Structure 1
Amino acid sequence: MQLSFCKLRTHQWCFLLFNVLLFHALLFGADFVEEYLLQAFPGTYTDLKVLEVRERARKLDMTTARGNISQQYTINYPEACSGQDVFLLVLIFSAPDNAHRREAIRRTWANRTHVQECLIRTLFVLESPRSLSTQATVLREAELHSDIIQGRLIESPGNLTPKTLLAMQWVVTYCPFARFILQANETAFVNLMALGDYLLTLRRHPEDLYIGRVVHQEMPDREPNSPHFLSPNQYRDKYFPDYCTGSAFVLSQDVARKVIVASEEVHFPVPYDVFIGICVRKAGVVPTHSARFSGERHIRYNACCYQFIFSSANVGDDQLDSIWQDLRDERSCSLLETYYGLVACKALTYLDKFSFFNTGTISDADSNG
């Protein structure tokens, strides 16, 4: 028997409407709740310590220290921003031996150099490898592309926080007029066009901006046998301050300065993204949550969905090429196509949480991380 929508009774229409609403609530409800609960509000800077950090950051001048600072980098590129009005400075954290990944990023999403005639500058931030042959390869790569900054830090997961501070220090010293700084992991895909368009629409003065996918009320790891164990003597608070996950987040220039100043009083052995969250809290900066950043999640691909989102984690090299090919064509998605794309990639992303729905693309991406 063929179903006729015109002949449905009132209670049947109500049942269909209820299921449609329920489907959307389950799919997008968490994002709406996050956007509401994690909404950033301007701070009232009455705490004297906060005011002191903000004032010191405002007066921070790295000019006289440039000579000493340059010695902290094995490979430096001080002319990267000279004579250029940089709108968005992209810092991609990369492992020294991942030259193939860096090349994939250069020919895909980092190939975007402007958004609405505003300049985007992309650099890779590396540590120093233990292998001399790897270092020789990095030196040749830096000479060829002129887009690598390498600190005198031995490659190690425990050095990500010092690496972040070196990156912020480099920004303030050599690129002090860049309005925004995007910090991203090499395993991520970032839609620079969508992100740039969003940053250009900000009505307020670009200060105190720290935006990404916010983690709210995460508890420190109190398990003694865990590699990330943090005792109450090291960190007393029950929760970490809100922070943006390290896969991709954006800072305004003044926040980078505040991180440098506030970091002098932060000595906790915490992950680098939590470290940034602690520093910005000391400076009175509140993180802004955006569901368009994926955080640590891989977003299943849909062309119209990827035109809308800012980032997706754990994207493999092959998928980077296909995504970039679609975005480079700049096909305009209608409102309905965008809606369908968001529903499709959102639903498939949720299904990826179950092992029997996982695809080889995600596994390949994880191996690159």
Structure 2
Amino acid sequence: MRRRCSRARRCAGVPVGPNGAEPLPLRNVSTYPASIPVLLSPEPCGPTGPFLLVLVPSAAEHAEQRQAVRDTWGGGTPPKPPETLQNAPQMPETPRNAPKTPRNAPETPENAPQTPRNAAETFQNAPQMPETPRNAPETPENAPETPQNAAVAPSTRTIFVVGVPPSRAASRALREEWWRHGDVLQGAFPDAYGTLTLKTLLLLRWAASRCPGARFLLKADDDVFVNVPALARHLRAPALPRRLYLGRVHWWVPPNRDPSSPHHVPAALYPASRFPPYCSGTAYVLSRAAALAVLAAAPQVPFVGPEDVWVGLCARRAGLAPRHTARLAGAMRVPLDGCCYGEVLFSAHRLRPDDMRKVWGVLTGGGNGCGALERALGVLRCRVMAARAGGGW
């Protein structure tokens, strides 16, 4: 009897070795950068690190998007949502002439984030994140959840990664933003769509060397809204694998061979007809062990774009299978709805800064956004709403 293919392999003929490791048909791995000079860097994390380190690739000119993330989901934890979003109050901006407070006071040389001692500092030789031994005694970092600590809001930290903008004025503005907020990581490469994979590698290296205590890494675009409390509750589930690569999985996508496309993948770099499964780059999660596995495999994988494909190829090389969840909505643009944003989805894509503030105003207003039927339908309901609004799936 002929053996049927599993869903994970989709009969694509991609060879899989022991434990899922694969001799990928990749060429020209010399394109992998051994080092990336760093121009601006945030302060390292503390000894324990946050529960969730949020890593946001951003274009240098997207200052408004970065500020919207800081003002909303990237800087706090909302309570339960109210019933509707129609009359949601806008989150007030900090007035330019507001009195100085610890939150909006300008940085001083004493409390400002420090620059690298050397402008060409790199992370290629940085210490790796320590693995937790399987039989290690339980500590606050790796202990299972209990009623006492399950209710505590998880610690988070948000870092934005950018390249070098084309103008000196933009570079000065970016440096001032870094001085004010201390959350910008800048690599010495052009700030362009084509360097998104390089940004992803840089932020993973920074996380491994400067924030080794973070239990999970969330990579999210700067136009994505993330329900951090809901995602953190999911990540606290005891049944999740130790090497977790979580997102909305794309299955066996063919490479784009159009030379005029920004997603062009030459056959010389990747000759196979399909990519292995990978998580949508709009928002995905890597556990500490999974991030280390991706970094360890990266030197054997060329810089294939888009960046989410490259991360998927590194994961495949490391024998790391992506785990699908429809609650990380991928490229789906969901209409502003308290039920979808507050209780169903972990992430939603393509939100303008004013949309982010509107959603945040609702989620911080209290109340309940879902009835019993709406909650039961969950993702299906949000998907139907997105389709009606032309948001896609």
Shorter chain as normaliser: what TM range?
Answer: 0.7 to 0.9
Q: Which residue of structure 1 aligns with residue 382 of structure 2?
A: 345
- 1:92 aligns to 2:56 (yes or no): yes
Change in CA separation of 1:46 and 1:302 when aligned onto 2, cut-off 3 Å: same
**1:320 aligned to 356, 360, 377, which one?**
356
Match of 2:237 in 1: 201
Q: For the pair shown, which has the larger CA radius of gyration, 1 or 2?
A: 1
* Equivalences for residues 158-169 of structure 1 within 5 A: 158-169=194-205
Contact 2:254 2:273 in 1 (8 A): yes
Pairwise mapping of residues 36-75 of structure 1 onto structure 2 (< 5 A)?
Answer: 37=7, 46=18, 72-75=37-40
Letter in 1 for 2:389: D
Task: Report SS of the residue matched to 1:257.
Answer: helix
Distance in 1 (alpha carbons) for counterparts of 2:228 and 2:68:
15
Structure 2 CA distance for aligned equivalents of residues 105 and 265 of structure 1: 34
Distance in 1 (alpha carbons) for counterparts of 2:280 and 2:243: 17
Deviation at residue 113 of structure 1 after TM alignment: 5.8
Contact 2:42 2:183 in 1 (8 A): yes
In the alignment, structure 1 residue 213 sits paired with structure 2 residue 178: no
CA offsets per residue over residues 5-34 of structure 1, 9 Å max, x none?
xxxxxxxxxxxxxxxxxxxxxxxxxxxxxx
Describe the SS at the equivalent of 2:18: coil
Higher relative contact order (CA 8 A, sep 6+): 2
Report how many residues are paired.
297
User: 1:240 aligned to 2:281?
Assistant: no
Match of 1:109 among 42, 61, 73: 73
Shift of 1:165: 0.7
Q: How does 1:1-369 map to 2 (within 5 A)?
A: 37=7, 46=18, 72-79=37-44, 81-112=45-76, 116-204=152-240, 207-224=242-259, 226-307=261-342, 308-332=344-368, 333-339=370-376, 344-353=381-390
Task: Pick closer, same or farther for the CA change 1:330–1:284 going to 2, 3 Å.
Answer: farther
Please state how far the C-alpha of 1:234 moved relative to its aligned partner. Answer: 2.5
- Taking the aligned partners of 1:181 and 1:96, their CA distance within structure 2 comes to 22
Residues 1:77 and 1:271: Cα distance change in structure 2 (over 3 Å): same
Q: What is the distance in 1 between the residues matched to 2:20 and 2:255?
A: 27
Deviation at 1:203, TM superposition (A): 2.6
TM-score (norm 2): 0.69
Name the % identity.
34
Question: Aligned with 2:351: secondary structure?
Answer: coil
How far is 1:76 from its partner?
A: 0.8
Matched residue SS, 2:180: helix
Pairwise CA RMSD: 2.8
- Stretches of structure 2 that go unaligned for 5 or more consecutive residues are 1-5, 10-15, 24-33, 79-150
In structure 2, distance between residues paired with 1:245 and 1:292:
12
Cα deviations by residue, 1:39-96 (Å, 9 ceiling, x for unpaired): 9xxxx98369779xxxxxxxxxxxxxxxx97x821111233x1234410000111111
> Does the 8 Å CA contact 1:38/1:288 hold for their aligned counterparts?
no
Structure 1 residues not aligned, in runs of 5+: 1-35, 52-67, 359-369
Q: Tell whether the 8 Å contact from 2:249 to 2:280 is kept in structure 1 after alignment.
A: yes
Q: Which amino acid aligns with 2:304?
A: P
- Higher helix proportion: 1
